[in-house]
Amino acid sequence: MTRLHLVRHGPTHAKSMVGWSDLAADLSDTAAIARLSAHLPANGIVISSDLSRAAATADAIQQNRTRLPHHVDLREINFGAWELRNFSEVEADTPDLIRAYWETPGDVRPPNGESWNEVCARVNAAIDALIAAHIGQDLIIVAHFGAILTQVQRAERLTAEQAFSHRIDNLSVTELICGKDGWNTGRINHLA
């Protein structure tokens, strides 16, 4: 049985769709970071997305834990042409497309971006490889809202719409277990 501790990176304070843009995380709440690090298993293996907001958060909670190289496939959703734009700006340009993307996620994709199904396939493959390489261990995976939701969807056997109903706060932990009998869900969006 492998335990996943999915940590959402520290806040960026951006008021737009932030996917593959490399914005820094605000890690000034050292008390919250200390609580988060203390909550996570001391023998956990830490890995993060290659984007600096996730990598810096992983650095902040690492302590004496083993660290794996950053993984590009743990990145956030690629919003393509919508990147760093707010919802109302995109809605003014492509109202039907953005509503379809969020209300019926699946194969709908932003221009030059990726669909929800593509995000799921990318992140699932990365998580599966990590689980196969670290069977029976605790994996502390510092990633993004979308990447974490892909795993909640998979573990709880949800539709994409149901998965999007979950809240995933910055510096929260979502705990999932993958065993020979399948997936089990622990706490979702736990703030230490």
Give 13-38 pLDDT, tens digit per residue: 999 999 999 999 999 999 999 999 99
Q: How far is residue 173's CA from residue 116's CA, in Å, rounded to a whole number?
A: 22
**Confidence check: pLDDT of 181 > 90:** no
Q: What is the pTM of this model?
A: 0.95
Classify residue 54 by its DSSP letter: H
**Confidence check: pLDDT of 43 > 90:** yes
Q: Mapping DSSP to helix (H, G, I), strand (E, B) and coil, where does residue 174 land?
A: strand
pLDDT at 108: 94
Q: Which residues contact residue 10 at a Cβ distance below 8 angstroms, ignoring those fewer than 6 apart?
A: 25, 26, 27, 29, 33, 53, 56, 57, 60, 170, 171
Q: How far is residue 146's CA from residue 174's CA, in Å, rounded to a whole number?
A: 13
Residue 138 CB neighbour total at 10 angstroms: 18
Q: Are 142 and 168 in contact (CB under 8 A)?
A: no
Which residue reads 């009998």 in tokens? 181
**Confidence check: pLDDT of 69 > 90:** yes
How long is the chain? 192
Q: Are 121 and 107 in contact (CB under 8 A)?
A: no
Q: Are 20 and 80 in contact (CB under 8 A)?
A: no
Mean predicted confidence (pLDDT) in 31-49: 97
pLDDT band at 116 (very low <50, low <70, confident <90, very high): very high
pLDDT at 175: 97
Give 77-96 pLDDT, tens digit per residue: 999 999 999 999 999 999 99
Domains of the chain by range and CATH? 2-79+115-185 (3.40.50.1240)
